Structure 1
Amino acid sequence: MINGVVLALTASVAFAFTTTEQGPPQPTPAAQQASAQHEAAAAPLPAARPLRVTIPAIGVDAPLTDLVLQSDGHLAAPPETDANLAGWWAHGPSPGTRGTAIIAGHVDIPTGPAAFYNLGALHPGMRITIPREDGTTARFTIDAIDVYAATDFPDDKVYADTGRAELRLITCGGGFDRTRQQYKGNVVVSAHLTR
């Protein structure tokens, strides 16, 4: 049940520490205020394990690993041994089914930028595709790109079931606190299934 784990998921997405002065791109105020021309939502697909996440606009083509909740209630992060790896919450909706599917990825790892480094450069209307184990591909259109402070993360807005097939891509962002050696928040991309 998604409502039982939203707080744990929020806290666990502060994955890695930046090693660059400039840091990853962050959504611009204009991108955050923009909204996509609402393309009609497609009917949900049957459940199937997602294999990859591709985002042509920023050159992402990353395999997906299963992510589960750890004993402390936090969502486990993808291993930091592969910069081009993301993960999906395997006990939630699979991408393309009714509900809000969650895919999380590192913005960077100790060796440098990772799969979701450029997530903050996306804009509403751009596309995300998820090839699935049953041979189908779930295609999503981005509705919004937001940055949320870790101390004020809107669980209900990000994780709520809207009654249609939706997707959230989550990574670290919102600036880097060098004193605490962690990101101050998260970049969240919201999208809906369009075919």
Structure 2
Amino acid sequence: MEEEPKNKALLYIFLVLLLAIGGSFLYWYFLQGPVTPGPGNGSTDGLTSSSGTLPGTSGSTSTGTTGVPNPIPAGEVLYIKALTGESVPVRDFTKNPIATTETGVVIVDSSDYILMHYVPDQSFLITIINEDVEYARQKAESDLLSILGISKAQACILRVSLTIPRAVSETLSGQDYHLSFCPDGKPFFRF
């Protein structure tokens, strides 16, 4: 029984390291420029609330970069820098995290998948940990949309990696499958 918490701790450490390495690579290879501030706040961290205050504090607006009202209540919004360079308003997932580190937030840790956010490059990592990978992927993708309060189109412009560790499937590990409903999404092929 003591080994299970150790395994989870090791998995968290591995995921944070993976995110750090991947984030650094993405930053240096793709971004190579300044991070766009969240709307109306002048911050350069890319993870800001709608009012320019720290996440979790009260805000005064709930409109995204397009000016279209967001269904997320004021003060409950974070802006995540998308691949397109625009800021996408999402529900504040930092209020009740499973765990936090200096560089990331564990948003979900279920028997099917782990969902993490890596702050430096504004990416999300979904790690499938259920052997029924199709079910776990569907659940993780649905939950991501629900937790962030975004559409599939908005999710497709965010940095989202979906991976499967070798311990779950040797044949499916080692790839980034992305979200299944996005143009860069890859199906699971079994050999």
Normalised by the length of structure 2, the TM-score is 0.31
Q: Which has the higher helix share?
A: 2
Q: Which has the higher contact order (CA 8 A, sep 6+)?
A: 1
Which protein has the larger Cα radius of gyration, Structure 1 or Structure 2?
2
TM-score, with length taken from structure 1? 0.30
